[in-house]
């Protein structure tokens, strides 16, 4: 157990209460996100956190309105879901190429109380280092909120890997040193490149929500001990690693067990499961 | 002949858990209006089970521990792996819970009892359990009562 632990990467796409209120979320889950599991009561989500020994979860939307014709939760729906449980931490999403995106983000943070921004370059079809998106980064930095980028491979149909390469995030990290950046999924398969970015840029963080073959235990041993030695994460990046599960593609309990089994020190596990997430979220207005 | 099917949602709260559903079966029989016949109980999920055993906590622990030994969630490193550990494109996620499916097969997914004079007939120590192997999840148990109408 990690008291106060946070799962920094979940998608609320299977929450039954929200699908009953907004039937369009069913098609978003099935056809856009591409998840086939049964819809579950919110209670199951919270029990998943209990089973993993965690207290809270960041819930992530994706505004894919202009590329897929739907939002995987609007900012308002995220706020509505957060109102059902104080264990949920809502992030916003915006269309990054919409000139109004900075204002939409500001409204989501100041008006709805959302505490970060999720962007998915593959699903939203933009390159993270496109200067047209820079005003959005500037606004996020001013607001003091983190941006969690999908990076690496994506399972969603139609999402291309080219948008997820970690080197597309270097200009962003360099030009916006105050911006708190999280690269999700260890940017797998480019874990070495993602680690290089995090080593060079202290504002770059990595989340552990990576599972592309085998099981969580064996995959994370490969990605976080074979591709890059665990000592690199422990000694050099211990304040830049966040626990994330990618629930419901993977159960939180399974990813938590896998991360705890990697061989990190207790001090490092507390950073990964709690303190680093709290530090990132602490600056939200 | 009368057939009455009842669907009961069971919320498991742990990764692995035995949940006593005898009262649900009993009330399904009472409500069915069947005097003499059978009650058939089944889980509708492939990583859960349906078992009949004595209703004491120590035995519940032994049942779960024994099935985990026979079909572990994660086989010891370097021994063997499951073919199911792969991306399932129809589900949009990886499998990796073969051990839980195997427990379901080993423990079984169904049971039935006689119904006599409108009552469930079972041994004094027998309890009916829904068994969760991959929870927590909201699950559906099917209870079918069939027989002569009262």
Residues of A in contact with B93 (CB under 8 A): 35-37, 155, 248-250
Residues of B in contact with A44 (CB under 8 A): 11, 136-138
CA distance linking residue B54 with residue B128, whole number of Å: 9
Contacts (Cβ under 8 Å, ≥6 apart) of B105: none
* CA distance to partner chain B, nearest, from residue A1 (Å): 15
Asked if the Cβ–Cβ distance from B74 to A50 is below 8 Å, we say no
CA distance linking residue A238 with residue A205, whole number of Å: 10
Residues of B in contact with A248 (CB under 8 A): 93
By C-alpha distance, which of A165, A159, A149, A153 is closest to A206? A149
Kindly state the tokens that stand for A62: 């994706």
Is A196 an 8 Å CB contact of chain B?
no
CA distance linking residue B142 with residue B118, whole number of Å: 19
> What is the number of residues in chain B?
150
In a domain, A49, yes or no: yes
CA distance linking residue A31 with residue B15, whole number of Å: 29
In whole angstroms, how large is the CA radius of gyration of chain B?
Answer: 17
pLDDT in tens, A64-115: 999 999 999 999 999 999 999 999 999 999 999 999 999 999 999 999 999 9
* pLDDT at A157 (0 to 100): 87
By C-alpha distance, which of A104, A86, A99 is closest to A42? A86
Minimum-distance CB partner of A250 among B81, B94, B137: B94
CA distance linking residue B143 with residue B41, whole number of Å: 5
Phi then psi dihedrals of residue A70, to 5 deg: -160, 160
Which one of B43, B75, B79, B92 makes the best mutation probe of the A interface by having the most chain A beta carbons within 10 Å?
A: B92
Q: What is the 3-state secondary structure (H, E, C) of A64-82?
A: EHHHHCEEECCHHHHHHHH
CATH architecture for segment(s) B2-65+107-149: Sandwich (2.60)
Residue A135: strand, helix, or coil: helix
Which one of B17, B44, B74 makes the best mutation probe of the A interface by having the most chain A beta carbons within 10 Å?
A: B74
Kindly state the tokens that stand for A79: 């706020």
DSSP string for residues in B51-99: EEEE--HHHHHHHHHHHHHHS-SSPPTTT---TT-SEETTTTEE---HH
Positions in chain A short of pLDDT 70:
1-2, 283-285
Range of the domain at A209: 6-281
Q: Which long-range contacts (CB under 8 A, 24 or more apart) does A221-228 make?
A: A221/A262, A223/A186, A223/A188, A223/A191, A224/A186, A224/A191, A224/A262, A225/A262, A225/A263, A227/A191, A227/A192, A228/A191, A228/A192, A228/A195
Asked if the Cβ–Cβ distance from A249 to B93 is below 8 Å, we say yes
pLDDT per residue, tens digit, chain B (150 aa), is 999 999 999 999 999 999 999 999 999 999 999 999 999 999 999 999 999 999 999 999 999 999 999 999 999 988 999 999 999 988 888 899 999 999 999 999 999 999 999 999 999 999 999 999 999 999 999 999 999 998
In a domain, A1, yes or no: no
Contacts (Cβ under 8 Å, ≥6 apart) of B75: B81, B82, B99
* Strand boundaries in A150-203, DSSP class E: 180-183
CA distance linking residue A70 with residue A49, whole number of Å: 28
Give me the number of domains chain A comprises.
Answer: 1
Q: What is the 3-state secondary structure (H, E, C) of A33-71?
A: HCCCCCCECHHHHHHHHHHHCCCEEEECCEEEHHHHCEE
In a domain, A151, yes or no: yes
Contacts (Cβ under 8 Å, ≥6 apart) of A138: A102, A176
Minimum-distance CB partner of A47 among B81, B94, B136: B136
* CA distance to partner chain B, nearest, from residue A220 (Å): 13
CATH of residue A142's domain is: 3.20.20.140
In a domain, A185, yes or no: yes
Minimum-distance CB partner of A51 among B14, B85, B90: B14
Residues of B in contact with A34 (CB under 8 A): 92
Is B96 an 8 Å CB contact of chain A?
yes
Kindly state the tokens that stand for A109: 């943070």
Kindly state the tokens that stand for A3: 């008291």
By C-alpha distance, which of A249, A252, A250 is closest to A35? A249
CA dihedral angle for residue A35, residue A41, residue A47, residue A48, rounded to 10 degrees = 0
Kindly state the tokens that stand for A14: 């299977």
Tokens 């939180």 belong to A252
* pLDDT at B150 (0 to 100): 87
Beta carbons of A90 and A121 less than 8 angstroms apart: no
**ipTM for the predicted complex:** 0.93
Asked if the Cβ–Cβ distance from A50 to B136 is below 8 Å, we say yes
Kindly state the tokens that stand for B94: 């990886």
pTM for the predicted model, two decimal places: 0.95
Minimum-distance CB partner of A250 among B86, B93, B134: B93
Residues of B in contact with A217 (CB under 8 A): 74, 77
Asked if the Cβ–Cβ distance from A213 to B136 is below 8 Å, we say no
């Amino acid at each position: 157990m990690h008291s106060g632990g946070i799962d920094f990467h979940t998608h609320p796409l299977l929450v039954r209460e929200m699908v009953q209120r907004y039937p369009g979320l069913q098609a978003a889950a099935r056809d856009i996100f591409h998840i086939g599991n049964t819809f579950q009561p919110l209670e199951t989500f919270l029990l998943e956190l209990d089973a993993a020994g965690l207290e809270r979860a960041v819930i992530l939307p994706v505004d894919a309105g202009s590329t897929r014709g739907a939002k995987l939760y609007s900012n308002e729906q995220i706020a509505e879901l957060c109102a059902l449980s104080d264990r949920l931490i809502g992030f916003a999403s915006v269309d990054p190429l919409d000139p109004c995106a900075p204002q939409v983000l500001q409204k989501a943070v100041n008006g709805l109380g959302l505490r970060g921004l999720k962007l998915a370059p593959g699903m939203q079809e933009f390159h993270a280092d496109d200067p047209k998106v820079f005003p959005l980064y500037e606004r996020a930095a001013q607001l003091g909120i983190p941006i969690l980028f999908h990076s690496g491979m994506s399972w969603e149909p139609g999402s291309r890997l080219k948008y997820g390469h970690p080197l597309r995030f270097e200009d962003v990290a360099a030009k916006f040193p105050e911006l708190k950046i999280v690269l999700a999924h260890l940017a797998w398969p480019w874990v070495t490149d993602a680690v290089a970015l995090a080593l060079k840029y202290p504002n770059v963080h990595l989340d552990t929500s990576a599972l592309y073959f085998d099981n969580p235990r064996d995959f994370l041993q490969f990605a976080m001990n074979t591709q890059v030695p665990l000592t690199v994460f422990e000694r050099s990046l211990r304040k830049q690693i966040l626990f994330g599960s990618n629930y419901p593609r993977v159960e939180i309990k399974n990813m938590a067990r896998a991360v705890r089994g990697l061989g990190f020190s207790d001090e490092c596990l507390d950073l990964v499961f709690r303190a680093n997430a709290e530090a990132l979220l602490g600056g939200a207005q | 002949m009368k057939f009455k099917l009842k669907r009961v949602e069971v919320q498991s709260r742990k990764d692995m858990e035995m949940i006593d559903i005898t009262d649900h079966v009993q009330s399904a029989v009472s409500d069915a209006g069947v005097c003499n016949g059978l009650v058939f109980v089944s889980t509708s999920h492939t990583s859960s089970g349906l078992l009949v055993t004595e209703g004491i906590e120590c035995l519940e622990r032994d049942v779960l521990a024994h099935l985990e030994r026979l079909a572990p969630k994660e086989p010891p490193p370097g021994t063997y792996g499951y073919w199911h550990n792969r991306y399932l494109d129809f589900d949009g996620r990886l499998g990796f819970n073969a051990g839980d499916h195997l427990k379901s097969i080993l423990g079984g997914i169904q049971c039935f009892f006689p119904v006599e004079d409108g009552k469930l007939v079972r041994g004094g120590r027998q309890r009916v359990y829904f068994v969760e192997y991959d929870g927590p999840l909201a699950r559906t148990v099917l209870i079918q009562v069939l027989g002569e109408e009262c």
